Amino acid sequence: MNANASKKEKWMMNYKRVKDFYERNGHLTIKDITLCQWLSYQRNHAMLDDEQQKLLEEINYKSTKMRREEDEIKWNQNFKKLVEHMHTKEGRKGDQRNDYAKVWISKQKRLLKNNMLNEERQKKLRSLGINLELSARKNLSSSVYNNQWEASFEKLKKYKETHGDCNVPRRYEENKSLGYWVSNQRKAYKNWKKGIGNMDPLRIDKLNQLGFQWSV
């Protein structure tokens, strides 16, 4: 997902993914954990404007299984476990190696980034002195990846100007990395259509506008 996208753009990206799944399957029993959490958040916590409410009603979003109570119990259990860990000798030293804490806290940060962590949970975590912002290293890694993607996209544009299409051979001798990159975009898109993994809808739109063929 584009790190520079606004909250509304991120909301629309998630909505488009859910709508695409709904139109293909006729239901919202999605296996993708991230999308399930997003849907649950829209139903239970999100402050929706009229446009968002209308869009969600078009895909019958209230048919999503109610998991709020179960989710609340599980979250509070994990939080209690985190508090207990932080009171241990290792926890006071900030040692989270071989411990669930590092993984669970990282998950909360990702949820916050996608506007899926409600204020009550944010307050509880911050009360423990936890910085919910993604680490500078993580942000830097994301920025580098975005720059690499854009650089490959620009190379693809030049390829099309020369060859008239975007069908770069996988073993393209003049630029093997571009061939592999194009192949990876198709693979990621195929998985995304199945509800597996993530793919930035803005990137899909850019490739579509360039005349990219998702299968050859």
Q: What is the pLDDT of residue 97?
A: 45
Q: What is the pLDDT of residue 22?
A: 84
Place of tokens 């898109």: 189
Q: How confident is the model at residue 213 (pLDDT cuts 50, 70, 90)?
A: very high
Q: Is pLDDT above 80 for 148? A: yes
Q: What is the pLDDT of residue 142?
A: 58
Q: How confident is the model at residue 98 (pLDDT cuts 50, 70, 90)?
A: very low
Residue range 64-94, pLDDT digits in tens? 554 455 677 788 888 988 888 877 755 544 4
Q: Which residue has the higher pLDDT, 146 or 180?
A: 180
Q: Give me the helices (H) in 87-200, please.
A: 89-92, 100-113, 119-126, 136-163, 176-193
**Average pLDDT in the chain:** 79
Q: Is pLDDT above 50 for 190? A: yes
Q: What is the pLDDT of residue 214?
A: 93
Q: Rounded distance, CA 103 to CA 16, Å?
A: 28
Name the residue type at position 52.
Q
C-alpha atoms less than 13 angstroms from C-alpha of 213 in its C-beta half-sphere: 9
Q: Report the percentage of the chain scoring pLDDT > 90.
A: 18
Q: What is the pLDDT of residue 136?
A: 46
Q: How confident is the model at residue 129 (pLDDT cuts 50, 70, 90)?
A: confident
Residue range 1-25, pLDDT digits in tens? 445 567 888 899 989 998 988 888 7
Q: Is pLDDT above 50 for 121? A: yes
Name the token pair of 106: 């990282």
Q: Which residue has the higher pLDDT, 5 or 113?
A: 113
Q: What is the pLDDT of residue 169?
A: 92
Tell me which range, 4-8, 42-46, 198-202, is most confidently predicted by mean pLDDT. 198-202
Q: How confident is the model at residue 55 (pLDDT cuts 50, 70, 90)?
A: very high
Taking each helix axis from N to C end, the angle separating 7-25 and 176-193, rounded to the nearest 10 degrees, works out to: 70
Q: Do residues 166 and 160 touch, judged by C-beta distance below 8 A?
A: yes
Nearest of 168, 148, 180 to residue 212 by alpha carbon: 168
Q: CA distances (Å), 216 to each of 18, 19, 60, 130, 153, in order?
A: 26, 25, 34, 48, 18
Q: Rounded distance, CA 11 to CA 196, Å?
A: 19
Q: Do residues 201 and 2 touch, judged by C-beta distance below 8 A?
A: no
Name the residue type at position 42.
Q
Nearest of 184, 197, 114 to residue 148 by alpha carbon: 184
- Average of per-residue pLDDT across 142-159: 83
Q: Rounded distance, CA 41 to CA 172, Å?
A: 44
